Structure 1
Amino acid sequence: MPAAPPADPIRPTDDEARALARSLISGARFGALGVIDPETGFPAVTRIALGAGPGGGLWTLVSGLSAHARALRADPRVSVLVGEPGAKGDPLTHPRLSLQAEALPLAPDDPRRATARARWLADHPKAKIYIDLNDFFFVEFRLIGGALNGGFGRAFRLTAEDLA
């Protein structure tokens, strides 16, 4: 008799999972950004600062000179990992959220830029040194979905609606 296929580890998404995911997003001040390198076609990952934009959501400020900025301009499909391990215990038991998103650069003349700038500086005061340099620009992440690992045995798939 053939062995039974393994049980699906993904639980049905519930309000607790949605709340945890939203909390990880709203509390994120940095994370890992995954992009597709336009020169090699391979994934590339870097650490970026994160924060809320003018209307909420998840945003970053990047230098146009960076490899990840060139990559997201070539292909706006990205992944963002948020959630940090706690001070104690196994890092893999702490909640984390892997997001799929579309990176939307904010045009320099967009009327939301002043609000984005003020909000960013409130959360990231040291950015005052470089925020107004010509190569820096804001990027809004339009969230498409996510995979939440809420701790051991607590895996969920989330939609854009779950994350809103």
Structure 2
Amino acid sequence: MPRPDPFQPADDAARTKARRLIVEARFAALAALRPETGGPTVTRVALATALDGAPVTLISALATHFAALQSNPACALLVGEPGDKGDPLTHPRLTLHCTARFLDPSGPEHAALRTHYLEQRPKAALYIDFGDFRLVRFTVQDGLLNGGFGKAYRLAPDDLA
């Protein structure tokens, strides 16, 4: 007997909630595949958005997830934190399946994204220009919104733009 699909089609409320989770996120859990083993690794990264709303972060070449994303840019981001009260599983969270792209510091989009990133994460000014740090832009392939028990939605990239 086939299992029923737990995901509902995206509606305006789900789209709004998902977009809000991305915009309000100060950080995310980043999942990637380790190049040396092919196994998963998860870390926390600071998160901001590009001018078009795409998720972005800043990663040091010294971090293990830097090598992981360079080896295989397929990754996932988890945004949304539990509130102070209640069951953590009742609070909304969003998984984004993405492809990571490192920006060339001398490339045409770097300066504008650097400025925009620092507007959102001003403390990064302390290290954004260090030679080992690179801005990373995530292209969202799809998303899974869990808005709480019985409120699961499958989202397309257009739902999140």
SS of the residue corresponding to residue 100 of structure 1 reads strand
Give me the whole-angstrom Cα distance separating, in 1, the residues matched to 2:102 and 2:3. Answer: 42
Work out whether 1:22 is the aligned partner of 2:44: no
User: Could you tell me which residue of structure 2 aligns to residue 106 of structure 1?
Assistant: 103
Unpaired runs of 5+ residues, structure 2, are none
1:50-129 matches, cutoff 5 A: 50-129=47-126
Q: Distance in 1 between matches of 2:58 and 2:5?
A: 38
Q: Give 1:9 deviation, angstroms.
A: 2.0
Give the letter aligned to residue 17 of structure 1.
A
Alignment gaps of 5+ in structure 1 = none
Return the TM-score normalized by structure 2. Answer: 0.94
Contact kept, 8 Å, 1:95 with 1:151, in 2: the verdict is yes
Q: Number of paired residues?
A: 161
1:93-126 Cα offsets, whole Å, 9 max, x none, are 0000011000011011112222222222222121
**SS across alignment from 2:43:** strand
The TM-score, its normalising length taken from structure 1, stands at 0.93
Q: Secondary structure at the match of 2:54?
A: strand
| 2: CA distance, partners of 1:81 / 1:128 | 25
> 2:53, 2:152 → 1: CA distance?
25
User: Which secondary structure state, in structure 1, belongs to the residue aligned with residue 82 of structure 2?
Assistant: coil
Partners of 1:34 and 1:45 within 8 A in 2: yes
> Structure 1: which 4+ aligned runs deviate by more than 6 Å?
none
Q: Match for residue 128 of structure 2? A: 131
Deviations 1:13-46 (A, max 9, x none): 2111111111111111101000000101101000
SS of equivalent to 2:117: helix
Deviates more, 1:89-98 or 1:47-56: 47-56
> What is the CA-CA distance between 1:55 and the residue it aligns to?
3.5
Match of 1:146 among 143, 146, 152: 143
Higher Rg of the two aligned structures? 1
Q: CA RMSD in A?
A: 1.3
